Amino acid sequence: MFNELSNKEVKAMKKIRTYLMEHGKTPSVRDLMREMGYKSPRSTAVIIGSLLEKGILVKKKNGTYMVSEFQLPKNLGNRAQTVKIPLLGSITCGLPIFAEENIEAEVSISVELLRNGERYFLLKAIGNSMDLAGINDGDLVLVRQSQTANDGDRVIALIDDEATIKLFKKNEKHVVLLPKSSEKKHQPIILMRDFRIQGIVESVIKI
């Protein structure tokens, strides 16, 4: 992909990918300006415009952009046997997690990690509330879309328009979302039905 790019465009793409992995979203023009050490956003805007024209970046409906192709390490599967899964960055309040405007990139994932006929998305984990369950700060989690869950599932739950990853426990009266953390500050969340399940974590990808 980089063969058709100038040196500045290659540098910009590397910065964009690094920023995406560290922050879970693509950088703004000014963010990229700072990452590349420029003093003016104009030069960065020109580079982004060129990458959009070449199809390396894709403009979204809300005016921001996403990376059209984002490859993970080769040990995740043969390229000929992969499908592109959306990597979702920041979440707009009031909207489901899986929404077009939330897509920051498309990641090639081995078909062996996926179930036939199911929809998936990726999220970047933030914090250590689930570190004892194998999910650490900065990990990517592969999520199968689902509005229901079984006891013990690692779920993506939407509470007051904020997403969280927790262990799902249910009884006749309420639901408990349990952290699995090495830090005691993370406590269970006890709910009735005032939340939504967005998906089940099926794989954790260490980057």
Q: Catalytic one among 129, 170, 173, 206?
A: 129
Q: What's the chain's Rg over C-alpha atoms?
A: 19
Q: Catalytic one among 166, 180, 184, 206?
A: 166
Rounded to whole angstroms, the Cα distance separating 30 from 40 reads 8
Comparing CA positions, the residue from 165, 168, 104, 93 lying closest to residue 131 is 165
129 an active-site residue? yes
DSSP 8-state class, residue 97: S
166 an active-site residue? yes
Query: What is the set of active-site residues?
Result: 129, 166
